[in-house]
Amino acid sequence: MGGTLLMGAVAYDPKVVTIWDGFREWFATKGLDFDYVLYSNYERQVHALLAGHTHVAWNSPLAWVRAARMGPVTALAMRDTDCDLTSVVVVRADSGIESVADLVGRTVAVGAVDSPQATLIPLSHLRSLGVDDVKIQYHDIAVGKHGDHVGGERDAARALMSGAADAACMIDGNHLLFGVEGTMPAGSTVILAQTPPYDHCNFTVAPGAPAELVGRFRSLLLEMSYDDPEVRPLLDLEGLKAWREGRTTGYAQLERAVEEVGFYDGAGNVTAVSYRP
């Protein structure tokens, strides 16, 4: 099998180099020539994938939604930790806010404007519950990286705790993290609303990607075992215990949110007025 499988990834943190260097070395031991290209934002990465500059992209859920509007792409694989996540809307325990209806006219702190888990999905969920008259307080950390940077969510949590906001949106895992680290001390907040489950990142395959290389890449991913001492450090770095087959059934909430706010048009063009990656 000849050729190199080229993957695109977004440089949301310096550890990204360590992660994909490790995967490249491991794939080489299995006979797969693998390399990667880093992008500063997901919009650039999606363009590169659809232009054929890369074969596979490690895409955020929002990048998947855009890629699927731009061309016939495939979701190849995802982490076990990408499946069935939820976001929460939290308030201070002493706020007196008892239902989502109490948020009408109040300030809701969210993550970056392009964060699926801390902005788009939870705000859509509030709208589905009949709450759309709120003051949205964005925390635009690392815009263009689709919420991969926890900073926006942490700033939203801080705004809630300082009294600058009446509620805050975040992924459920970060709600737990913020409790452990003391940003939102244990018992200081309550969950007012929780979204239905949704999915997060996936390996997105471009049309025309070399089938043999992609097939070998997929097989090796699915064969990786957390019990293997050579593999475990790589999986720990990327935050999973097993790779799963890619699926697209978990993106319906995000698709709806994108439509509601006009984030992308039907062809995948960026149409969100306040978004400049």
Residues 6+ apart with CB under 8 A from 141: 111, 112, 149, 151, 152, 155
Q: Do domains 5-82+199-261 and 87-194 have the same CATH topology?
A: yes
pLDDT category at 74 given cuts 50, 70, 90 is: very high
Mean confidence (pLDDT) of the chain: 97
Position 96 scores a pLDDT of 96
- CA 218 centroid distance within chain: 21
**For 87-194, which CATH superfamily applies?**
Periplasmic binding protein-like II (3.40.190.10)
pLDDT category at 2 given cuts 50, 70, 90 is: low
Using a cut of 0.75, tell me whether the model's pTM lies above it: yes
CATH topology of domain 5-82+199-261: D-Maltodextrin-Binding Protein; domain 2 (3.40.190)
The ranges assigned to domains in the chain are 5-82+199-261, 87-194
Q: Is 1 a residue whose pLDDT tops 80? A: no
Residues 182-187 have a mean pLDDT of 94
Q: Are 120 and 170 within 8 A, CB to CB?
A: no
Cβ neighbourhood burial of 219 (10 Å; 0-12, 13-18, 19+): exposed
pLDDT tens, residue by residue, 81-97: 999 999 999 999 999 99
Q: In this structure, which amino acid lies at residue 266?
A: G
Helix, strand, coil percentages (3-state) for the chain, rounded to 5, are: 40, 20, 40
Helices 42-50 and 61-70: crossing angle in degrees, nearest 10, is 30
pLDDT tens, residue by residue, 196-215: 999 999 999 999 999 999 99
pLDDT tens, residue by residue, 101-136: 999 999 999 999 999 999 999 999 999 999 999 999
